[in-house]
Chain A
Amino acid sequence: MSAELAQYLTTGVTVGAVYALVALGFSLIYNASHVINFAQGEFVMIGGMSAVSLVATGMPLILAVPLAIGITVLVGMLLEKFAVEPARGASVVTLIIITIGASIFLRGLAAIVWDKKLHALPAFSGNEPISFVGASVQPQSLWVLGATMLIVLALAWFFGRTRVGKGMLATSHNRLAAQLVGINVRRVLLLSFAVSAGLGGAAGILVAPITTTSVDVGVMLGLKGFAAAVLGGLGSGPGALVGGFVLGIVESLCAGYISSAYKDAIAFVLMLGVLFFLPSGLMGKRAADRV
């Protein structure tokens, strides 16, 4: 394997992990409520910016990270309580506009609380690149991958082994049936926003040392996470992971070998291709509503 290719692949996998986390958040909320949450990217921004400002106060990273995730989770829950819950049963267009309104609101609020400048979070363990089959890998990339793997394992355990997680899965399959067996579907909705915000926040913190963060970082990351979710099959957990990594790798390879100017377009070209030819996504259920 050439060093160049190895370099592109490691970059792609790192970025892909971040897309995968955002895509997982999209799918979680979509499953619980059939809402596409366009404010998902703002969770990434809030996580990153909170961590930056907490570290700036002199707080050690090990405390700042969980606290920043906590702040993002709180924002996610408030969003569900005050914007999504009151509009239950509204049409697709209405819900899309509500979440877009929420994302504008959150971005505006963030610009007041923080500022519009670029901020960098210090890397978790130094900036000394590690050499790996000819590619130089930032230690932060390993943190991104490791943390993503831990999060995925934790989610798998949560949905496969715990009562609450199984309840959430049941609700996504059949809301009415879940309600009949005594699952509190309202709490499931709130919980899905909390978990999804946590995922976004974590992604924002992990990637902040590599790409820097700012108030506007959420727009593109959110849209690409969304493309990744569609790519893998909207509403599918493994699909979101596959979609995220595929998108990250393809994007990095195209930027390297074809055109870096059109790097951002690749996500949407892939998304359109999947929608036209494989509407249920790479990993989606074949029975998905494709009419």
Chain B
Amino acid sequence: MSHYRSSRHHGLIALAAIIALLPLVLSNKYFYDVAILIGFNAIVCIGLNLLIGYAGQISLGHAGFFGLGAYASAILTGNYGWPPVIAALAGMAGVGSLAFLAGRPILKLKGHYLAMATLGLGIIISLVIVNQDRLTGGPDGITVGPFSVLGFALENERAWYWFIGGLLLLTVWLSQNLIDSPMGRALRALHSSEVGAQAAGINAAAHKLQIFVLSATFAAGAGSLAAHYSGFITPAKAGFIHSVELVTMVVLGGMASIYGAVVGAAVLTLLPQILTVLKDYEMVVLGAVMMATMIFLPRGLVPSLAALCERWRDLLPPSLVLRLEALIGRGRKP
């Protein structure tokens, strides 16, 4: 167990090191911008992966929660003059309550039916946002003021970068603790066999609902901050396509893997940036990449690479493996 715990901390330290060292290569505002976007998406995807990867429940409507959080911040700070932090927390609480109410009937469904119901919920949310134009500005979107914490305003990309970096580490740490808690074990038991888990005394419905509410709240929080960061929000952020992007990030990075969610968010945020070079062919390549990774790496990047490393490890002489492991400070799991 101690080995396991230490390897868990190594992952967090590695991520912290990457976040700390990344500014050395981020030479201009644009690179900072992309890094911050990756951070937002990673936070949403970690929450979504708790739901999809660990609890085994799909959601094709998470962008709706993201959008609601964003619009809550925009409206509460813009129209009612609330402080940004309070507005964001209120948005998260509101979205959490909505997820709680909607989750009760929705999570009784399974597989395709669950996918459809969450899809429907997401689309209804985005249509409400488009149509309540007096409040939301309709299809054209709405501007959002800057974000400030305790009177300290986040003014430039650098400040945002460190803020989001810290928040991402916090999210990873919280999620890892959750996964290793009795709650996390219950979720994994649920995923492998719901009947089995229930026979062992796990309240399946309550656990699924809790994780659904938690992941919706993560999405709402990220939505609030993203709206403040970009200073503008449109209904597209709450739409079906964005929901699909989020799920794809999770599955591409690797289900039931916290770092998978981060990697998936990074790859799928970077990809469109790189693909803009291709101009007209952007969508074609994006679609082809989605299909190809799902066909050839259905388990996602991180678990597939991990499996590959395991196989390589068996091919190398054991003495070399031990020395390498000592080098990266990682022992075999007990």
Contacts and interface: CB of A to CB of B under 8 A. Distances in A.
A103 B291 CA distance: 10
A1 interface: no
Interface string A82-100: 0100110011111011101
B85 interface: no
A4 interface: no
B288 A276 contact: no
Contacts of A103: 287
A279 B291 contact: no
A124 interface: no
A87 B294 contact: yes
Interface in B103-120: 105-106, 109-113, 115-117, 119-120
Query: By CB atoms of chain A within 10 A, which of B112, B120, B124, B244 has the most?
Result: B120
A264 to B, nearest CB: 6
A97 B287 contact: no
Given A97-B248, A234-B112, A272-B117, A223 B286 contact: no
Contact of B123 (A36, A104, A112, A268): A268
Given A36-B115, A92-B115, A268 B251 contact: no
Contact of B58 (A93, A101, A104, A112): A93
Interface string A59-89: 0000000000000000000000001001100
B76 interface: no
A272 B124 contact: yes
A97 B290 contact: yes
Contacts of A112: 280-281, 284
Nearest to B58: A93
A111 interface: yes
Contact of B251 (A97, A107, A108, A230): A97
B196 to A, nearest CB: 14
B287 A105 contact: yes
Contacts of B284: 105, 108-109, 112
Contacts of A264: 127
B147 interface: no
A111 B286 CA distance: 14
- Secondary structure class of chain A's binding surface, majority of residues: helix
Nearest to B121: A272
Nearest to A36: B112
A132 interface: no
A36 B128 CA distance: 26
B287 A104 contact: yes
A34 B110 CA distance: 14
Nearest to B112: A36
A17 interface: no
B121 to A, nearest CB: 7
A275 B251 contact: no
B124 A105 contact: no
B283 A108 contact: yes
Interface string A266-277: 001101100110
B112 A94 contact: no
Contact of A230 (B58, B116, B248): B116
20 contacts: A30-B112, A36-B112, A87-B294, A92-B58, A93-B251, A98-B295, A105-B286, A105-B288, A105-B290, A108-B282, A108-B284, A108-B285, A264-B127, A265-B127, A265-B131, A268-B127, A271-B116, A272-B117, A272-B120, A272-B124
5 closest A-B pairs by beta carbon, nearest first, are A108-B283, A105-B287, A101-B290, A104-B287, A108-B284
